[in-house]
Structure 1
């Protein structure tokens, strides 16, 4: 099953999406001196005043002019820029030297120069980490790599050592794409050419079910050596021990991508679907490693409009069920919004229902493998509300499959009755634009949501009688 989800046979597939974005980097700008005000021209005003006196009488014009000439109007003071703190000046200079090193390292990575990429590191352990990253990023065909300071460095406590948050932005396969952002903590020893002492990893993801904020957790290329294959619509990667899986996985992923491309709700299809097959160790480390036991895979928002798919170690044991998992997760990548806060309990059924439509790929409803679980849920303690279906980490496999199945059937009713175009308009309004169904149902379906919800539930119940 997948965190974010699919019910591949008896293996529901949920989606843990963090969605991270992507965290906006702070931009530090130099203070700009405020120029003194320009001295105002007074003669036009004086002339106007004289004209008024001449017309209306009163104070003689000559006397008024003399008073105006002798009046001490003063000169506006020029605003002075406050002197910059010496510590801030020093930090800014350190940041400039580190940025120069990062620029050289980026050029080395894009040029395939491993020694140049490693040259920035001082400690052996950091060089080993960079060596692994270089190998993995090259395997993923990195095409853009940018690095910049995220704020100013701060003293690390030892003379000449500085801590700095660094924002990386990257693209894979295609030279032109919207970059995905990543912010990590670094430690440097200053000098003419600063040296990297330690390199952090992306921040750990929040717990399952709460991935709407923050970064997605450890990315595969940060913590694992990877090998990959690239197709027309997908890139598939895994660790060297599972290299033999790649040819078959690429073929199945390319087939799934053709289906997923039909589930784009807004904008265009992903430039490449990114799919990572995890071993046992990787499953516990990638993207935070906090996944329900019932998960067979999940889609994670890594920012820049990109979702990455992780497949569980036993997903190849599902046989043709793996194809369902792939279609389901790739449909998430195609249909979900770029923002991380894509979903909550009230829309889980719709997000997963759409992905399950892709998973079944047009097969008849009576052949859906999760119907028995749906039947047990309907006859059990389900309260008949679509927004109460979201499973927890400790929900049983059967209940999870039932929840995904109910979501699928309710969404199938909408597409059967109204067609894909109107269904996707509903998804756009509810999931992307965060409008509640009660606000959009009559606008899109010409029927109140209260009435339509009852009909969706009735369809679900009828399907498992």
Structure 2
């Protein structure tokens, strides 16, 4: 309805008809008024001068002031953008502002996505409220080449002709690390580690391992210029429950999982997506030094390959490559690195085909998940052994560039490795049996 009214207003400018008669003008004005009244009724904005477009501009202006105050580290201006009557929310935002003090921000902006209708506010002061969905986009200085994007459901209130942020959907609480407590920042040579509820010494050890993981992955992936900047951002919350909150998923999905990497598969243009390695402090904490090294290198490999990992890339390839990069050069034998698969092979249960994406589900039998990772690793290891490491990287890129899943692996096998899917599977099964027998 808004678009119809806008077109009518443009065509209605200019006054009376060329022959000087006015009835058509009066009719046009009457119809325009009716349309405007209908629009106001539909949007719930009949009491707001300027209509929904003016309202949305005012809301965006309030969000712009709020974001600018945070970028400028101006606490007074930041809190001035919050509803003075929303005492609990103001106290919460005061804590968030303090929690962000050490976080190196290169940018922080809000974009109004959509708004709902609004109704008179109950209680002292009157005013009107509007529900709004806003997109927060921020970058960490020196690490993010593109912004991290997240959405929030906010409530804004108008008081005395000015809009304030008055609240946020509590179901989204804890989805950002700084909502969970003061953020401690540790800088490595190639890493930035952010922790909440963690001591600095533990975060420093994490940064040291991440610094070693980056060049290890770089030598395996051979990233092209601007494809991957050769640095990682790692976050460690206080607990498994806090990790699940960051990922907006059930705790059961990550119990026993030492770390995961978040990010958007398939970069746009030359910019690499903004990834985060999220560490589960509980599962990570029970690992030895070698296990921690493998975990950080594996997740760093996901960061490095993200721009070339698309919907066409099966999980056996993306997870198998990450494990291959992690174990590469460690001297670990297949039986040492694939214990679950070795036990299955010893019992005469060799895999018949490469694992499918559902086999990599976090919720399920732990041995099945481990075997899926080990099978993918041995598939990638076979390509590196039987063809070359360069061919493995070329195969990975070719699969991702296919654009969609159907035919992606088959085409890359033919074009890069010169082999059919059936022959590849048979060679892989033989390779698995051979490697697990050899130790």
User: Under TM normalisation by the shorter chain, which class is it?
Assistant: 0.7 to 0.9
Change in CA separation of 1:460 and 1:202 when aligned onto 2, cut-off 3 Å:
farther
Q: Which structure has the larger Rg?
A: 1
1:423 Cα deviation from its structure 2 partner = 1.8
Question: What's the secondary structure of 1:138's corresponding residue?
Answer: coil
Partner of 1:327: 297
Which of the numbers 189, 212, 228 marks the counterpart of 1:255?
Answer: 212
Partner of 2:72: 111
Q: Aligned partners of 1:173 and 1:460: how far apart in 2?
A: 45
Matched, 1:418 2:377: no
Partner of 1:187: 155
**Alpha-carbon contact 1:299-1:309 (below 8 Å) kept:** yes
Question: What's the secondary structure of 1:154's corresponding residue?
Answer: coil
Change in CA separation of 1:197 and 1:400 when aligned onto 2, cut-off 3 Å:
same
Given the two structures, how large is their TM-score scaled by the length of structure 1?
0.73
Partner of 2:436: 464
Partner of 1:349: 316
Question: What's the secondary structure of 1:332's corresponding residue?
Answer: helix
**Alpha-carbon contact 2:128-2:157 (below 8 Å) kept:** yes
Which of the numbers 63, 85, 90 marks the counterpart of 1:102?
Answer: 63
**Alpha-carbon contact 1:328-1:359 (below 8 Å) kept:** yes
5+ long unaligned stretches in structure 1 = 1-27, 37-78, 205-216
Q: Aligned partners of 1:380 and 1:114: how far apart in 2?
A: 66
Aligned positions of 1:192-211 closer than 5 A: 192-200=161-169
Question: What's the secondary structure of 2:307's corresponding residue?
Answer: coil
1:176 Cα deviation from its structure 2 partner = 7.4
1:450 Cα deviation from its structure 2 partner = 1.5
1:282 Cα deviation from its structure 2 partner = 1.6
Question: What's the secondary structure of 2:257's corresponding residue?
Answer: coil
Which of the numbers 212, 234, 239 marks the counterpart of 2:196?
Answer: 239
1:355 Cα deviation from its structure 2 partner = 0.5
Deviations for 1:376-397, whole angstroms, at most 9, x for unmatched residues?
Answer: 2334655421134724344344
Aligned positions of 1:163-312 closer than 5 A: 163-174=131-142, 177-191=145-159, 192-200=161-169, 218-262=175-219, 263=221, 268-270=227-229, 272-280=231-239, 281-290=241-250, 291-301=253-263, 305-312=273-280
Q: Aligned partners of 1:230 and 1:243: how far apart in 2?
A: 11
Matched, 1:409 2:366: no
Question: What's the secondary structure of 1:162's corresponding residue?
Answer: strand
Question: What's the secondary structure of 2:263's corresponding residue?
Answer: strand
Partner of 1:430: 399
Question: What's the secondary structure of 1:395's corresponding residue?
Answer: coil
1:367 Cα deviation from its structure 2 partner = 6.2
Matched, 1:135 2:105: no
Question: What's the secondary structure of 1:187's corresponding residue?
Answer: strand
**Alpha-carbon contact 1:201-1:218 (below 8 Å) kept:** no
Which of the numbers 444, 447, 451 marks the counterpart of 2:423?
Answer: 451
* Cα-Cα RMSD: 3.2
**Alpha-carbon contact 2:99-2:183 (below 8 Å) kept:** yes
**Alpha-carbon contact 1:360-1:368 (below 8 Å) kept:** no
Matched, 1:384 2:352: yes
Question: What's the secondary structure of 2:352's corresponding residue?
Answer: coil
**Alpha-carbon contact 1:154-1:164 (below 8 Å) kept:** no
Given the two structures, how large is their TM-score scaled by the length of structure 2?
0.77
1:34 Cα deviation from its structure 2 partner = 9.3
1:188 Cα deviation from its structure 2 partner = 1.1
Which of the numbers 315, 318, 337 marks the counterpart of 1:370?
Answer: 337
Q: Aligned partners of 1:271 and 1:138: how far apart in 2?
A: 26
**Alpha-carbon contact 2:398-2:412 (below 8 Å) kept:** yes
**Alpha-carbon contact 2:230-2:304 (below 8 Å) kept:** no
Change in CA separation of 1:154 and 1:354 when aligned onto 2, cut-off 3 Å:
same
Aligned residues: 381
**Alpha-carbon contact 1:162-1:188 (below 8 Å) kept:** yes
1:219 Cα deviation from its structure 2 partner = 2.9
Partner of 1:149: 112
**Alpha-carbon contact 1:375-1:402 (below 8 Å) kept:** no
Q: Aligned partners of 2:275 and 2:429: how far apart in 1?
A: 31
**Alpha-carbon contact 2:177-2:196 (below 8 Å) kept:** no
Q: Aligned partners of 2:144 and 2:244: how far apart in 1?
A: 32
Q: Aligned partners of 2:428 and 2:80: how far apart in 1?
A: 61
Deviations for 1:145-175, whole angstroms, at most 9, x for unmatched residues?
Answer: 1112112442156461111111111100239
**Alpha-carbon contact 2:156-2:167 (below 8 Å) kept:** yes
Q: Aligned partners of 1:385 and 1:30: how far apart in 2?
A: 61
Q: Aligned partners of 2:231 and 2:412: how far apart in 1?
A: 32
1:327 Cα deviation from its structure 2 partner = 0.3
Q: Aligned partners of 1:340 and 1:198: how far apart in 2?
A: 37
Change in CA separation of 1:380 and 1:300 when aligned onto 2, cut-off 3 Å:
farther
Change in CA separation of 1:353 and 1:29 when aligned onto 2, cut-off 3 Å:
farther
